[in-house]
Amino acid sequence: MKTGTQGQILPPELHSEIVGFCSPSALRYLPLVNKEFRFHSEKLLYAHVAVRSSRQWQVGVFETLATDTTKAGYVKFLSLEFDQPEHPTDSLVLQRLVSAGPALKNLKDLRIRLRQDLRLENYTAGVFSMLCAGYFQLNTLFVGDYYDFGAVLKAQEHLTVLGVFEAMFYYGPRFLLKSVKDHPLIAVYLRRHGDASKPKVTLAPELLSLKHARDFDAILGKALESDDMAMIPRAEQVTDVAVYLEHVPSREIFEAFIDATARLFVNLRYLQLELPCSDDTYLTTPIQSGTLHFRPMQAVLKLLSLCTSLKSLTWSDDSRSRGYALVAFLNVIKTLRHPLEELNIRTHNDSAPEVWEEVYKLEGLKRMSIWRMEGPPRVLQGWCEKLGPTLESLELGRCAGVPPPPLRELRLKGASASGITGVLAVLPKLKVLDTEYLPSFGRARPASSSSTPPPALETLTVRTSSGDFMGPQKLWPWILELIPGPAASLHTFSLHSFVMNVMGKGSISVPGEFLLELSRVHGATLRQVILGDAMLTLGDVECLVDRCVGLEVLSCGTVASMEKVDMIKKALEGERSLRSLTLHIDWIVGEDGRTPSEPFTLQTAREWMLRSEDPSLRHIAINDRHYTGEWVLQVTDDTQGEMRDAGDEEIEALSSQFEALGTMRASKKELRRYIKFDSAPGIVKTF
């Protein structure tokens, strides 16, 4: 019996092997089996600790690390991120972390990201002291940029990867390079850039040793594997990389770094090189011989050739050079598998004619931008035929002396409000404008001194969003600035808008003063006013249809009482040519609290459409209900339906036309007015 019992006991050397096969969720239960399993499972459980302070059930981990030196000694990876909003335990977590510092003797990877309110000296000083005390030797460290990295690196002699969150200074790497001396290091700066899930990565390769440069992809790739922090992306998620060079590294190191970067960031789309040297210092008689100095142009071009998904190139040069270095980049771009989609050129001097010849050889561009301080205007002379089939966006920063183009239709997206008025000044023949309203937050541009009047727009479409139910503060005067008159010209005005704030999604309110000025200037020509669900008062509706004598289409939102639908009809009494009316109505319950089941009925629609001898109203839409009036030629017998007037020449002519088409002849035909009611898409009833 004793022998049998001993046979059921697992050999001790198998415990660690068994634990190694367990998933993280199963490891939590193994300590309950026996002491041996508890020992091995706790070593794995505490080896990787990731805490976000918003998950309060995890805050107790630091209490354990501060009081149990054995478990603290198991920790190899520690990640701490403070989320929004604040928690009462935040300061306590930092205190316990600092207290646990002396026991974290095996810690190799530390990542701490503090919220803005925790970046005070009384919080950061403890963490800084812990980093410099020599309790542990890190291989990887991710922290904010509010520490003395020179002192940290002096204490952390084995540090290989230094990641810095949210650099406070644009030239953050410059300050790091000045404080770090003789310490090979992979330095990574992470800043939010547009999409929060894809932060911008900045690298400083001149801190690399040759060994680190060759193993750069493996070392940094491993550091980016952890997804415990939202700010740290995986390597395959990185599309934007900036490389900062204060001094030129050795050729061997830089080429190894370039190769490793291409291997690591497989989806790289945007590469920014911050180089202190002028482009002409890399070249010797480039057009004649095409030879290149290194410094480090050859390695950069090699990296460019590996960017198989490259979509955009921005060339910025504020020196007095003639831009010869751009030719070398263009030659590489022409060899890439996919054509370039966007080219931006920002220079002080005009580039040499030979450079423009190479630029003009590019095909397939969708977006083009050229800005120069000096030189003759470049308005795509000799390039239009190549770019015409694909070019969608064009930005020219110097057009002096160039006659304005005969453009009649223009649709813009992403242009600032202040810039659009300047665009109209050089398009005198423009008739159709479709644009967004994007407020300009910089200094207002001075009014142009040009005497050229703005174009007489016939169709204006404005798209905007706002957090205020009254709309963006300067939206309405800006719209009037686009169509100032004095002669009436506008036929169609459309506004696509929505309000999004803490109250949820809502509708924008159109001020009455704006409608008065719009109708004063363009009332004689306006045919369509399409405001979507933008809100007007019934008084504004009445004013609009009364002052715009030829108005045919009106779409807007309003507020009305369920018991006083006739108030809407009264507001429309002045109209003479309205053919389509769309109202998004917020119904108000009557004073007695009773609500009719159908405030607006089919009979109401019939009365509105037939309220005069010569009605023009053909379509009424009230919220999700649509009513359409139309004439229908109906075949009847002698005893059914209303008989047509035999003397009606128009109906006689229509009847004869239908008979001539070969329709079955009947005893009587009559032309009658019908109303079609549509309560849901695809369901139409005829009455």
Contact 428, 404 (CB under 8 A): yes
Q: Does one domain contain both 427 and 348?
A: no
Q: Does one domain contain both 361 and 508?
A: no
Residue 85 covered by a domain: no
Predicted confidence (pLDDT) at residue 504 exceeds the cutoff of 60: no
Q: What is the average pLDDT across 534-559?
A: 90
Q: Does one domain contain both 555 and 585?
A: yes
How many structural domains is the chain composed of? 3
Q: Does one domain contain both 504 and 550?
A: yes
Q: Which of 259-273, 334-348, 386-400, 664-678 has the lowest mean pLDDT?
A: 664-678
Instruction: Tell me which range, 11-25, 133-147, 220-234, 287-301, is most confidently predicted by mean pLDDT.
Output: 133-147
Residue 645 covered by a domain: yes
Residue 342 covered by a domain: yes
Predicted confidence (pLDDT) at residue 639 exceeds the cutoff of 50: no
Answer positive or negative: Cα dihedral of 566, 568, 571, 577: negative
Residue 492 covered by a domain: yes
Residue 670 covered by a domain: yes
Distance between CA atoms of residues 627 and 634, nearest Å: 20
Q: Does one domain contain both 612 and 651?
A: no
Residue whose C-alpha is closest to residue 580's, from 606, 605, 555, 611: 555
Q: Would you state the pLDDT for residue 362?
A: 82
Q: Does one domain contain both 658 and 562?
A: no
Q: Which of 274-278, 487-491, 535-539 has the lowest mean pLDDT?
A: 274-278
Residue 414 DSSP SS3: coil
Q: Which residue has the tokens 């090699």?
A: 302
Bridge partners of 393, per DSSP, are 367
Predicted confidence (pLDDT) at residue 673 exceeds the cutoff of 60: no
Residue 43 DSSP SS3: helix
pLDDT tens-digit readout, 220-229 = 989 888 777 7
Q: Would you state the pLDDT for residue 641?
A: 43
In terms of DSSP bridges, do strands 504-506 and 109-113 run parallel, antiparallel, or are they unpaired?
unpaired
Q: What percent of the chain has pLDDT over 90?
A: 14
What's the token pair of residue 340?
């370039």
Q: Would you state the pLDDT for residue 225?
A: 84
Q: Does one domain contain both 348 and 436?
A: no
- The amino acid at residue 151 is A
Distance between CA atoms of residues 679 and 453, nearest Å: 48
Please name the residues in contact with 3: beta carbons below 8 A apart, sequence gap of 6 or more. Answer: none
State the burial class of residue 564 (Cβ atoms within 10 Å of its Cβ: 0-12, 13-18, 19+).
middle
Instruction: Tell me which range, 178-192, 256-270, 497-511, 671-685, is most confidently predicted by mean pLDDT.
Output: 256-270
Domain with residue 570: its CATH number is 3.80.10.10
Predicted confidence (pLDDT) at residue 601 exceeds the cutoff of 70: yes
Predicted confidence (pLDDT) at residue 669 exceeds the cutoff of 60: no
Q: What is the average pLDDT across 176-199?
A: 71
Residue whose C-alpha is closest to residue 325's, from 295, 363, 367, 360: 295
Contact 468, 499 (CB under 8 A): yes
pLDDT tens-digit readout, 75-87 = 999 998 887 677 7
Please name the residues in contact with 137: beta carbons below 8 A apart, sequence gap of 6 or more. Answer: 108, 156, 157, 158
Predicted confidence (pLDDT) at residue 136 exceeds the cutoff of 90: yes
Predicted confidence (pLDDT) at residue 331 exceeds the cutoff of 70: yes
Distance between CA atoms of residues 629 and 627, nearest Å: 7
Q: Label residue 515 by pLDDT band (50, 70, 90).
A: very high
Q: Which residue has the tokens 């008025």?
A: 421
Distance between CA atoms of residues 630 and 687, nearest Å: 11
Largest CA distance in the chain: 122
- The amino acid at residue 209 is S
Predicted confidence (pLDDT) at residue 291 exceeds the cutoff of 50: no
Q: Does one domain contain both 551 and 609?
A: yes
Give the chain's mean pLDDT: 75
Q: Would you state the pLDDT for residue 593?
A: 60
- The amino acid at residue 673 is R
Q: How many CA atoms lie within 13 A of 184 on its CB side?
A: 12
Predicted confidence (pLDDT) at residue 471 exceeds the cutoff of 70: no
Q: Does one domain contain both 576 and 475?
A: yes
Distance between CA atoms of residues 104 and 137, nearest Å: 10
Which position has the higher pLDDT, 150 or 596? 150
Q: What percent of the chain has pLDDT over 70?
A: 67
pTM, whole model, 2 decimals? 0.47
In terms of DSSP bridges, do strands 580-588 and 553-561 run parallel, antiparallel, or are they unpaired?
parallel
Q: Would you state the pLDDT for residue 596?
A: 63
Residue whose C-alpha is closest to residue 165's, from 231, 85, 120: 231
Predicted confidence (pLDDT) at residue 517 exceeds the cutoff of 90: yes
Residue 512 covered by a domain: yes
Q: Would you state the pLDDT for residue 278?
A: 41
Distance between CA atoms of residues 302 and 280, nearest Å: 18
What's the token pair of residue 629?
């009036």
pLDDT tens-digit readout, 4-33 = 444 456 666 665 666 666 666 666 666 666
Residue 359 DSSP SS3: helix
Bridge partners of 573, per DSSP, are none
Q: Which of 60-64, 66-70, 414-418, 581-585 has the lowest mean pLDDT?
A: 414-418
Give every strand in the sheet of 186-193, ordered side by side.
48-52, 77-81, 109-113, 140-144, 161-165, 186-193, 195-203, 240-244, 270-274
Q: What is the average pLDDT across 202-216?
A: 84
Instruction: Tell me which range, 237-251, 637-651, 670-684, is most confidently predicted by mean pLDDT.
Output: 237-251
Predicted confidence (pLDDT) at residue 140 exceeds the cutoff of 90: yes
In terms of DSSP bridges, do strands 619-622 and 625-636 run parallel, antiparallel, or are they unpaired?
antiparallel
Residue whose C-alpha is closest to residue 259's, from 320, 215, 207: 215
Q: Does one domain contain both 609 and 496?
A: yes
Q: Label residue 141 by pLDDT band (50, 70, 90).
A: very high
Q: Does one domain contain both 638 and 575?
A: no
Distance between CA atoms of residues 398 and 380, nearest Å: 12
Predicted confidence (pLDDT) at residue 375 exceeds the cutoff of 50: yes
Q: Would you state the pLDDT for residue 659?
A: 45
Dump the DSSP string for 250-289.
-HHHHHHHHHHHHHH-TT--EEEEE-SS-GGGGBSSHHHH
Q: Would you state the pLDDT for residue 661?
A: 40
Phi/psi of residue 598, nearest 5 degrees: -135, 95
Q: Would you state the pLDDT for residue 634?
A: 60
Residue 531 covered by a domain: yes
Q: Does one domain contain both 423 and 329?
A: no
What's the token pair of residue 154?
């002096």
Q: Would you state the pLDDT for residue 460?
A: 95
Whether omega before 477 lies within 30 degrees of 0, making that bond cis, reads no
Residue 327 covered by a domain: yes
What's the token pair of residue 379?
């308005």
In terms of DSSP bridges, do strands 195-203 and 186-193 run parallel, antiparallel, or are they unpaired?
antiparallel
Predicted confidence (pLDDT) at residue 621 exceeds the cutoff of 60: yes
Q: Which of 236-240, 563-567, 570-574, 675-679 has the lowest mean pLDDT?
A: 675-679
Distance between CA atoms of residues 607 and 133, nearest Å: 88
Predicted confidence (pLDDT) at residue 288 exceeds the cutoff of 50: no
What's the token pair of residue 596?
């009719």
Separation in Å, CA 632 to CA 374, 670, 687: 69, 8, 11
pLDDT tens-digit readout, 405-435 = 677 888 877 777 887 887 888 788 889 998 8
Q: Label residue 148 by pLDDT band (50, 70, 90).
A: confident
Q: What is the average pLDDT across 103-111?
A: 94
Predicted confidence (pLDDT) at residue 198 exceeds the cutoff of 80: no
Dump the DSSP string for 117-169.
GG-SHHHHHHHHHHHHTTS---SEEEEES-S-HHHHHHH-TT--EEEEES-SS
In terms of DSSP bridges, do strands 48-52 and 77-81 run parallel, antiparallel, or are they unpaired?
parallel
Q: Which of 26-30, 234-238, 507-511, 656-660 has the lowest mean pLDDT?
A: 656-660
Predicted confidence (pLDDT) at residue 318 exceeds the cutoff of 50: yes
Q: What is the average pLDDT across 542-559?
A: 90
Q: Label residue 457 by pLDDT band (50, 70, 90).
A: very high
Q: What is the average pLDDT across 80-108?
A: 85
Domain around 361? 307-398
What's the token pair of residue 592?
């007695």
Distance separating the N- and C-terminal Cα atoms of the chain: 96
Q: Would you state the pLDDT for residue 449?
A: 44
Predicted confidence (pLDDT) at residue 289 exceeds the cutoff of 70: no
